């Protein structure tokens, strides 16, 4: 059983209250205001690594392993495909951040071995290219895109591989998908119960069974 303590704090960027994981780098960033985002941060960001463009791209690869290959990126489903959802992040969003930051923020190398869904991830990159050209025609540059997209694919494949390494020995992507949505459901219920900043919740998960349970948490200090 894996346990995580989450604390309620205010979102400086968007306002409102959300949940953040205690004792991790992710605590520095915007709190989660939806169960889907919380499950994404926990399962698709390797070791809760978040912030840099490269880390986000690895999470996109993991998202394909856990949700994308099942056309289960969001619930309830909408008219957008998995390619649409991931390409909108990989393309316009992260490409522009890459231009602004001047890099990926971490390294993955340029010779990552292909994964089982490399073809699909390449299709996401191609779709992202078209979306970026449409949304930012003045900022789109073929040479810069070639540099970005080559490394973006490497990061995504690496993220896919990390997710597969974690879940393949215990049932594969179907277990990961079930666990993702079980976490999202539990987290949404607790987010709806948020009352004040500093309030805490405890998330317990079991990987092999895809079990997830989340409840309000009171430390011993609360009673001292």
pLDDT class for 111, splitting at 50, 70, 90? low
Count: domains in the chain: 1
More confident residue, 102 or 19: 19
On the 0-12 / 13-18 / 19+ scale of CB atoms within 10 A, 166 is middle
How much is the pLDDT for 147? 92
Residue 223 has a pLDDT of 46
Closest CA to 115 of 72, 67, 61: 61
Question: Hey, which of 99-103, 110-114, 170-174, 219-223 has the most confident mean pLDDT?
Answer: 170-174
Tell me the residue range of the domain where 142 lies. Answer: 2-223
Q: What's the confidence (pLDDT) of residue 24?
A: 64
Q: What angle do helix axes 94-101 and 142-167 make, rounded to 10 degrees?
A: 110
């Amino acid at each position: 059983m894996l346990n995580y303590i989450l604390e309620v704090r205010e979102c400086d960027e968007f306002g409102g209250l959300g949940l953040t994981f205690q004792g991790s780098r992710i605590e520095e960033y915007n709190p989660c205001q939806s169960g889907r985002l919380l499950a994404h941060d926990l399962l698709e960001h390797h070791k809760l690594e978040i912030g840099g463009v490269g880390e986000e791209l690895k999470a996109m690869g993991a998202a394909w392993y856990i949700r994308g290959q099942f056309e289960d990126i969001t619930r309830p489903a909408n008219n957008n495909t998995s390619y649409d959802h991931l390409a909108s992040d990989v393309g316009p969003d992260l490409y522009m951040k890459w231009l602004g930051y001047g890099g990926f923020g971490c390294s993955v190398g340029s010779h990552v071995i292909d994964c089982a869904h490399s073809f699909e991830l390449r299709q996401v990159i191609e779709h992202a290219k078209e979306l970026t050209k449409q949304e930012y025609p003045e900022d789109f540059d073929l040479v810069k895109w070639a540099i970005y997209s080559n490394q973006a694919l490497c990061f995504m494949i690496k993220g896919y591989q990390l997710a597969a390494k974690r879940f393949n020995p215990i049932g594969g992507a179907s277990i990961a998908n079930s666990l993702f949505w079980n976490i999202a459901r539990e987290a949404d219920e607790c987010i709806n119960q948020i009352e004040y900043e500093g309030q805490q919740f405890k998330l317990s998960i079991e990987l092999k069974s895809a079990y997830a349970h989340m409840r309000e948490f009171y430390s011993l200090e609360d009673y001292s």
